[in-house]
Amino acid sequence: MLLTNYHTHCDFCDGAGKPEDYITEAISKGFHALGFSSHAPISFEREWTLSEKSVPDYLQTINSLKREYADRIEVYTGLEIDYLEGISGPSSKKFSTLGLDYTIGSVHMIPVRDSDSFLPIDGAVELLKELLKNTFDGSFEKLSERYFGLIRDMLKNHQFNILGHLDLLKKRNTHNLLFDENALWYRNQVLDTLDVLAETDVILEVNTGGISRKAIDSVYPSPWIISEARKRDIPLMLNADAHVPEHIDYYYSEALAIIKECRYGELYSLSGGKWITREI
Ligand SMILES: [Zn+2]
Ligand SMILES: [Zn+2]
């Protein structure tokens, strides 16, 4: 099994540590490949994304490290790109012309009703509650339908390689604070989304970042969703969503056990510049 991680945030966005620190860590852990996926700039300046003006420096830095370390590890240049309804998404021209090795498509932000602003679903719980109140009349079912609807729109209208943390919405739902993940309406929203995903070539990631950041105690997406993805033959990969170098393989052995229990026998990785599958 190849050790790989294609979801990495360094100090170009909201991660801590220079890109080289992550590469050194990956080599010491015997990694085959490491991909960088800084948060792409969004139309309003946010502290967690790359700034528009730092994009060339980011690309140049990762591309030169790729060459420098080529005999020890495969390094890939990617971005985690937000789908911002009506504004931009993973295959918007400003990103598709950057010569990236791969892209992760993610939804972190939901438009606020009667406004041109967005609120995050994975930020402070107060912000999520504000969104729930001001845009969805307190109905988490409506908020969730909107979130998964945005993911389906992104899958239908944009080309990208990896779908980021499919059920990120559960990040602030510890102890079922906001909704019951077993509710039929929630399960149906997820299944509808998997049906759309299955029609594309996009790879679903199992993401351990919610655990390493101590927000939740299991992977994105929940194991029952991984099992449903398997039934639909959806390609799968394992990523850490690391924000510090030591987390590039955080919870990997436990996640691999979960993936096997869900009857997946192989995982996707980017190797030699191509997407390949390898047995777990
Ligand atoms: Zn993300
Ligand atoms: Zn991320």
* Ligand nearest, relative to CA of residue 78: 2
Across 170-189, b (16+ Cβ under 10 Å) vs e yields bbbbeeeebbeeeeeebeeb
Report CA(38)–ligand 2 centroid distance (Å): 7
Q: What is the DSSP letter of 78?
A: E
Q: Give pLDDT, residue 128.
A: 95
Report CA(181)–ligand 1 centroid distance (Å): 20
Q: Give pLDDT, residue 1.
A: 75
Residue 90 has pLDDT above 90, yes or no: yes
Residue percentage of the chain with pLDDT more than 90: 95
Residue 45 has pLDDT above 80, yes or no: no
Q: How many CB atoms lie within 10 A of CB 56?
A: 10
Q: Give pLDDT, residue 9.
A: 98
Provide the edge-to-edge strand list for the sheet that holds 162-163.
Answer: 4-5, 33-39, 74-82, 102-106, 162-163, 203-207, 236-239
Task: Give strand pairing partners of 78.
Answer: 37, 102
Radius of gyration from C-alpha coordinates of the chain = 18
| 27/45 Cα distance (integer angstroms) | 34
Q: Which two tokens stand for residue 264?
A: 């997946």
Report CA(139)–ligand 2 centroid distance (Å): 27
* Ligand nearest, relative to CA of residue 240: 2
Structural domains of the chain, with CATH: 4-279 (3.20.20.140)
- pLDDT bucket at 43, cuts 50 / 70 / 90: confident
Q: What is the DSSP letter of 114?
A: T
* Ligand nearest, relative to CA of residue 15: 2
- Per-chain mean pLDDT for the chain: 96
Report CA(106)–ligand 1 centroid distance (Å): 6
